[in-house]
Amino acid sequence: MQKALFLDRDGVINSDEGHYYIYKIEDFKINEGIIPSLKKITEAGYLLFIVTNQGGIAKGIYSESDVEMVHDHLLSILEKENIHIEQIYFCPHHESVAACDCRKPNPYFIKKAIIDYNIDSTKSYMIGDSPRDIQAAEAAGIKGIKIQSNENISVYCDQIVKGEI
């Protein structure tokens, strides 16, 4: 079985300061500590996943292709650093338009990854800056690590690698 680290996107991977919705490459700034932390986690044998709510799509603020463009940009930066993200799961829905099964705190995408990638939930983690990230993690049976928005995740990743958390 595999072990995995799940990450929220906005406020964890990239800064959400000054923007509620981020759908332009020029607004997409990777937070301090992400590159070295994800390298270390990769070297320790964890698969990486991103699970993000993108309700701005349902609201008509931006499109799925905007999201995919931002994700291609992110993946190309990470691949240059030899960091591979297995999947970026995004929920394009919002309850103000229509309910769905995949928006966090629903654990849908985490559970899907656990099945599709044969992941050991007892050895896996989710880092998020919102209570709903932690609710999703716990509902999927993995450990949730709540950070402050845009906090450097290095200390938590070190603890994961050392088995201290």
Which residues are annotated binding-site positions for Mg(2+)?
8, 10, 129
Q: Which residues on adjacent β-strands are paired with residue 3?
A: 46
Give the CB-side neighbour count of residue 48, counting CA atoms within 13 A.
Answer: 22
Which has the closest alpha carbon to 17: 129, 107, 124, 134?
A: 129
Counting Cα atoms < 13 Å in the Cβ hemisphere of 152 gives 8
Shortest distance (Å) from residue 143 CB to Zn ion = 23
- Which among 101, 104, 103, 72 has a CA at the least distance from the CA of 88? 72
Q: How far is the CB of 114 from Zn ion (least distance, A)?
A: 18
> Of 41-49, 56-64, 87-95, 129-137, which part binds Zn ion (CB under 5 A)?
87-95
Among 103, 104, 109, 137, binds Zn ion (CB under 5 A): 103
Residues that bind Mg ion (CB under 5 A): 8, 10-11, 129-130
What's 31's DSSP letter?
P
Residues 6+ apart with CB under 8 A from 80: none
10 catalytic residue (yes or no): yes
Q: Which does 10 bind (CB under 5 to 8 A by kind): Mg ion, Zn ion, none?
A: Mg ion
* Nearest distance from C-beta of residue 91 to Zn ion, angstroms: 3
Per CB under 5 A, does 102 bind Zn ion? yes
Give catalytic residue positions: 8, 10
Binding site for Zn ion (CB under 5 A): 91, 93, 100, 102-103
